Amino acid sequence: MTTAPPRSVRIAAALTFLQCLGGIALAVALVVRVIGGATPAGPILGAAGVLVLWFGGAIFASIMLFRGRHGARTPVIVTQLLLLGCAWYAYGASQQPLLGSLAGFYCVAVLVLLFTREGREWALGLGEPADLAEGDKAD
């Protein structure tokens, strides 16, 4: 189903797109590290491949969400939840509280934008049947 998403959903899609570009940049940096002579090339290239698949799919989902595809909302939400876990790890175990906090706030902001009242109504298609019902009554 394709309908125009509310502004909050479009902003969330754009913010997710930017996150995913950062993920692709990380994958490129890992490949450059291997080319530069990093010794365990296999695991690093494997991680880069996983990042490209994950963030490539999330880029596609964010574009589809921006265009109004309802089904693209779930992959964007899952991406935010996974990145929230990465932010938690950066905050605690990696001992980088500033980076973890900023990444966590970013993920939470995107999730809040996706779960606004307008965003939920759009995702559930609640506004559309009422509009059709009102149009039928006018005839």
**Domain ranges within the chain, ordered by starting residue:** 7-125
Residue with the bigger pLDDT between 1 and 126: it is 126
Q: Report how far Cα 73 is from the mean position of its chain's Cα atoms.
A: 9
As beta bridge partners, residue 69 has: 2
Sign of CA dihedral 108, 23, 51, 116: positive
Angle subtended by helix axes 7-35 and 73-91, to nearest 10: 60
25 half-sphere exposure, CB direction, 13 A CA radius: 6
Q: Report how far Cα 102 is from the mean position of its chain's Cα atoms.
A: 16
Query: According to the model, what pLDDT value does residue 40 have?
Result: 85
What integer is the mean pLDDT of 2-27? 94
Where residue 126 falls among pLDDT bands split at 50, 70, 90? confident
Backbone angles phi, psi at 25, to 5 degrees: -60, -40
Q: What is the pTM of this model?
A: 0.84
pLDDT of 139 higher than 50:
no
Q: What is the pLDDT of residues 27-86, one digit of tens each?
A: 999 999 999 987 788 899 999 999 999 999 999 999 999 999 988 999 999 999 999 999
Put residue 107 in one of left, alpha, beta given phi > 0 → left and psi -120 to 50 → alpha.
Answer: alpha
pLDDT of 133 higher than 70:
no
Angle subtended by helix axes 41-67 and 73-91, to nearest 10: 140
Q: What is the pLDDT of residues 84-121, one digit of tens each?
A: 999 999 999 989 999 999 999 999 999 999 999 999 99
Query: According to the model, what pLDDT value does residue 37 have?
Result: 87
